[in-house]
Amino acid sequence: AALHSLANVAGEKRADNARVLNRQAEENFRRLIYDKASTTAKLTPSGLLLSVLQQDSEIRIAGYRVIAGGVARPWWLMEILAKSQIIDIVIDTYGESKKTGMEARHRCCKAIHEALASSSSRELGAEFSAVASKVEEGVRRGAYGARRQSEAHQAMVITADR
C-alpha cells in the first residue's frame, strides 16, 4: 500500500503535464526519496527500486507505478538509468504472467520512453542512446509480449513436387 501511495504522490495517475509538483513540493519529495533510500541496505533510490522489482507480482506492480510516475523528473530518470537491471526488467515482455502486471510494466516502459524522448541528448549523454532504443523496442512489443518481427512466424507456401 505504501508503494501505491508513493506512486500517487509521484503522479502516476495524473496527466503527463501535471506529474511534477511545485518547486518546494518537488524538493521535499526528492529529499524524502533520497533520505529514505539512504537508510536502507540498498542506499540509493535505484537500488531500492531494483529490489522492489525483484519481489512478487503485487509489489512489482506498485514498483512499476512508482517508476512511471517518477520518470517525469530528470533526477528520477537518471536513477532509473543508473541500474541497467531495472531497464532489463521493465522491457522484458515475458517477465509478468498476469494481465495487470503486463499492463503496469508496459505503462512503465512507455513512461520511461516518453521521458527519454523529451530529454535532450545533452542532459542524458550519448551512453543512454542504446538504452533508449531498448526501451523503444520494449514499447513497440506491447504489453502482452508480441514477438519481434524477426522472430515472428512467417507463412510459407511450397509447391509440391510432381
Cα 36 from Cα 119, distance rounded (Å): 27
- Cα angle vertex 96, ends 92, 102, to 5°? 85
The share of the chain scoring above pLDDT 70, in percent, equals 83
Return the sign of the alpha-carbon dihedral for residues 145, 130, 62, 73.
negative
pLDDT of residue 72: 87
2-141 CATH choice from 1.20.58, 1.25.10, 1.10.260, 1.20.120: 1.25.10
Residue 149: the pLDDT is 45
Domain parsing of the chain, residue ranges:
2-141
Average pLDDT, the chain: 83
pLDDT at 102: 93
DSSP 103-123: HHHHHHHHHHHHHHHHS-HHH
153: confidence class by pLDDT, cuts 50, 70, 90: very low
Query: How confident is the model at residue 1, as a pLDDT?
Result: 77
Q: Give pLDDT, residue 65.
A: 94
Place 125 in a pLDDT band, splitting at 50, 70 and 90.
low
Weakest mean pLDDT among 23-27, 47-51, 149-153: 149-153
pLDDT digits (tens, 9 = 90+) for 5-19: 888 888 888 776 667
Q: HSE of 3 in the Cβ direction (CA atoms, 13 Å)? A: 19
* Residue of 147 and 37 predicted with greater confidence: 37
Is the pLDDT at 94 greater than 50? The verdict is: yes
Whole-model pTM above 0.85? Answer: no
Residue 39: partners with Cβ closer than 8 Å, 6 or more residues away: none
Q: What share of the chain is helix, strand, coil (3-state, %, to 5)?
A: 65, 0, 35
What local confidence, expressed as pLDDT, does residue 21 receive?
77
Reported confidence tier of residue 156, pLDDT bands at 50, 70, 90: low
